[in-house]
Amino acid sequence: MVNFTRSIASRVYEQSAEIKSYLTLREVNADLIEENASLRNTLLSSKIIRSSVFLEMVDTLYEQKYNFTTADVINATVSRQNNLLTLNKGAKHGIEPEMGVISSHGVVGVVSDVSGSFATVIPVINRSLRISARIKASEYFGSVVWEGTNYRYAQLNEIPHHVNISIGDTIVTSGFSAIFPEGITVGYISEAEVRGGNFYNIDIRLANDFKSLHNIMVVKNILKEEQETLEEESLP
């Protein structure tokens, strides 16, 4: 009986230790994502270079282009054709529709709607979302789409068949849209073949596992409105 009681107590202590370890890990992970956002706000990749030349002297000013705000995923679907995520921050935290969402691993999606305290996100695993991306090794770009089958895989379209690609090549954001900075990881090529026509069918393993996604960052392009206004005015 004494041995049995000790065995039960030992199991309780082990489970208690595991729970404490899990909660501590969540806190550490949240701290790391906050630190990551802070570092991204200071990196040159989040800034735009303004330069002027006068008498062969260059005066360069790094102007902030992107701002990063941390948030948590509090609800998510992964088994539907049009999946959604819910964040625990909204308009009163500076979150707006059409802001990009990333994690420490890579691209998550785009903010769709906001309330005062919450925001919904259209993730990569939503058939309505297209993301401009390129193969990091070759610079060729196309569109990442999700066909609605496996939540861990998406497809990269519009890559010509003459491009040299390798399994494992990294797919990153192209920087062509006003939503994501250039060079954010989307995923990695897992399969590629030409099935008629002049383009590859490319499967990519997504950088994020949406079933375990929790800490994210919302990306604000401070110059987005200015860029889009100019592009609209320039259209014929």
Q: Which residues are registered as beta bridge partners of 122?
A: 110
pLDDT at 188 over 70: yes
Q: Per DSSP, what are the bridge partners of residue 120?
A: 86, 113
User: What pLDDT does residue 76 have?
Assistant: 96
What ranges do the domains of the chain cover? 131-206
The Cα 102–Cα 187 span in angstroms is: 12
Region 116-135: what's the mean pLDDT? 97
Burial class (CB in 10 A: 0-12, 13-18, 19+), 185: buried
Q: For 150-179, how does the pLDDT look when each residue is reduced to its tens digit (9 = 90+)? A: 999 999 999 999 999 999 999 999 999 889
pLDDT band at 223 (very low <50, low <70, confident <90, very high): confident
* CATH class in words for 131-206: mainly beta
Question: 117 and 101 in contact (C-beta within 8 Å)?
Answer: no
Q: Give 43's pLDDT tier (boundaries 50, 70, 90).
A: low
Amino acid in position 52:
S
Please choose, from the candidates 216, 163, 155, 165, the residue with its C-alpha nearest in 3D space to the C-alpha of residue 187.
155
The pLDDT of residue 108 is 98
Mean pLDDT, the chain, rounded, equals 83
- Predicted confidence at residue 49, as pLDDT, reads 46
What are the helix and strand counts (H, E) for the chain? Answer: 2, 14
Per-residue pLDDT at 208 exceeds 90:
yes
Scored b (16 or more CB within 10 A) or e, 123-159 reads: bbbbeebebbbbbeeeebbbebbbeeeebbbbbbeeb
The pLDDT value given to residue 136: 95
Check residue 41 and give its pLDDT: 60
Report the pLDDT averaged over residues 7-17. Answer: 50
In this prediction, what percent of the chain has a pLDDT beyond 90? 61
Residue 16 has pLDDT above 70, yes or no: no
Q: What's the rounded Cα separation, in Å, for the pair 94 and 87?
A: 13
Does residue 51 carry a pLDDT above 60?
no
Judged by average pLDDT, the poorest of 46-50, 181-185, 187-191 is 46-50
44 three-class SS: helix
pLDDT-derived band at 111, boundaries 50, 70, 90: very high
pLDDT band with cut points at 50, 70 and 90 for residue 24: low
